[in-house]
Amino acid sequence: MTWNVLISAPYMIPVIDRFRPWFAEHDIEITVADVQERLEESDLLPIIAKYHGIVCGDDRITKAVIDTATNLKVISKWGTGIDSIDSAYAASKGIPTGRTLDAFTQPVADTALGYILCFARNLPWMDKMMKAGVWDKIPGRALNESTIGVVGVGCMGSAVLRRAKPFGARLLGNDIREIDPAFVAEMGVEMMDLDSLLEQSDFVSVCCDLNPTSYLLFNDARFARMKAGSVLVNTARGPVVEEAALVRALQSGRIAGCALDVFEHEPLPKTSALLGMDNVLLAPHNSNSSPKAWERIHHSTLKNLLDGLRG
């Protein structure tokens, strides 16, 4: 039997030719989607019925898509997060969702700490001023004078804490589940409720999954709780932060700045007020950049695809 598979994962598409012999070996005929960031429900509904499998990124695989996908045997997510997939409903229809846990922990944690250092040491802004011919010594701070709060102490949050510890910062953590006491003791991290963390942190690193408890977790009320002059770093999921509320907090001076790799709406609309703010650092959902990690995810995703097709 020949399996028909849709490839819509943006990070796999550029190297797809390298895997064509593998697809041929396993009687898989692929269709490569024309996709920039993700396929929406409206993109998938007209085409999904003919496919036995999909290798997806953050495609919106909803109940309606699953109901239409009468031949679908497996959803293989390139990466970890499956919040854009109604995986529970898919499972009820006998369609497994494969993913790779702990896929990008190391590069994403590097990015989070990099952003914290940029704000602590004012590196991007001194560079900009020097290139404009302005010799001005902007005051910074050392991390051992700072408090770093991590929201979500899972794989990524733990990795951020491990990176921050040698700098001597005071470390705070928050999670909806109990964290291993041995890790807490090793890191010297103070676990506390979210509001207390926000009130005390100079830098808040968002590292939690997107789920019903974290959707728009950072809203007007939460920004009002944040320490005056603090900085928000989000390398987790965009909809954890309500961007309109974030813009208000930045414009009012309630918080001093933010760094965002992910956004409530992606790609970031060209009309976003964030694009015109000097105290904001932005990246196009790219903190997972790592050739080593990408290669591992390519092979893991294809294994999950084949396992699902074979049942």
CA angle, 211 as apex, 101 and 215 as ends, to 5°? 135
Question: pLDDT > 90: what percent of the chain?
Answer: 99
Same fold, 3-101+291-310 and 105-282: yes
Q: How much is the average pLDDT of 244-273?
A: 97
- Are residues 209 and 187 in contact, defined by beta-carbon separation less than 8 angstroms? no
Q: What is the pLDDT of residue 198?
A: 98
Mean pLDDT of the chain: 97
Question: Rg of the Cα trace of the chain?
Answer: 21
Q: Give the pLDDT band of residue 10 (cuts 50, 70, 90).
A: very high
Query: Which of 41, 190, 199, 266 is labelled catalytic?
Result: 266
Res. 279 pLDDT band, cuts 50 70 90: very high
CA distances from 209 to 9, 138, 175, 212, 285 (A): 20, 35, 11, 10, 15
pLDDT tens-digit map of 157-172: 999 999 999 999 999 9
Query: What pLDDT is stored for residue 90 in this prediction?
Result: 98
**Token pair in block for residue 296:** 């591992």
Q: Residue 248: pLDDT band by 50, 70, 90 thresholds?
A: very high
Q: What is the DSSP letter of 2?
A: P
How far, in Å, are 213, 235, 265 from residue 271 at the CA level?
A: 29, 22, 12
Q: What Cα–Cα distance (Å) separates residue 235 from each residue in 31, 38, 288?
A: 31, 18, 9
What string of DSSP letters covers 168-217?
A: T-EEEEE-SSPPPHHHHHHHT-EE--HHHHHHH-SEEEE-PPPSTTTTT-
Catalytic residue among 163, 237, 242, 243: 237
pLDDT at 60: 98
* pLDDT at site 11: 95
**Annotation marks residue 29 as catalytic:** no
Residue 127: pLDDT band (50, 70, 90) is very high
CB–CB of 113/93 below 8 Å?
A: no
Per-residue pLDDT, averaged over 239-244, amounts to 98
Average pLDDT (193-207) is 98
Domain boundaries defined on the chain: 3-101+291-310, 105-282
Query: Is 298 labeled as catalytic in the residue annotation?
Result: no
pLDDT bin (cut points 50, 70, 90) of residue 8 is very high
CATH topology of domain 3-101+291-310: Rossmann fold (3.40.50)
The model's pTM? 0.93
Q: Yes or no: is domain 105-282 CATH 3.40.1410.10?
A: no
What does the pLDDT look like over 77-116, one tens digit per residue?
A: 999 999 999 999 999 999 999 999 999 999 999 999 999 9
Q: Which residues contact residue 270 at a Cβ distance below 8 angstroms, ignoring those fewer than 6 apart? A: none
237 assigned to active site = yes
Given a contact cutoff of 8 angstroms between Cβ atoms, the answer to whether 85 and 64 are in contact is: no
- Does residue 162 contact residue 153 with C-beta atoms inside 8 Å? no
Band of the pLDDT at 209, cuts 50, 70, 90?
very high
- Residue 191 burial class via C-beta count within 10 angstroms: exposed 0-12, middle 13-18, buried 19 and up: middle
Residue type, 173: G
Q: 151 in helix, strand or coil?
A: strand
Catalytic one of 38, 99, 222, 285 = 285
DSSP 229-290: T-EEEE-S-GGGB-HHHHHHHHHTTSS-EEEESS-SSSSPPTT-GGGG-TTEEE-SS-TT--
pLDDT-based confidence at residue 269 (cuts at 50, 70, 90): very high
- For residue 62, give the 3-state DSSP assignment: coil
Once rounded to an integer, what is the mean pLDDT over residues 267-284?
A: 97
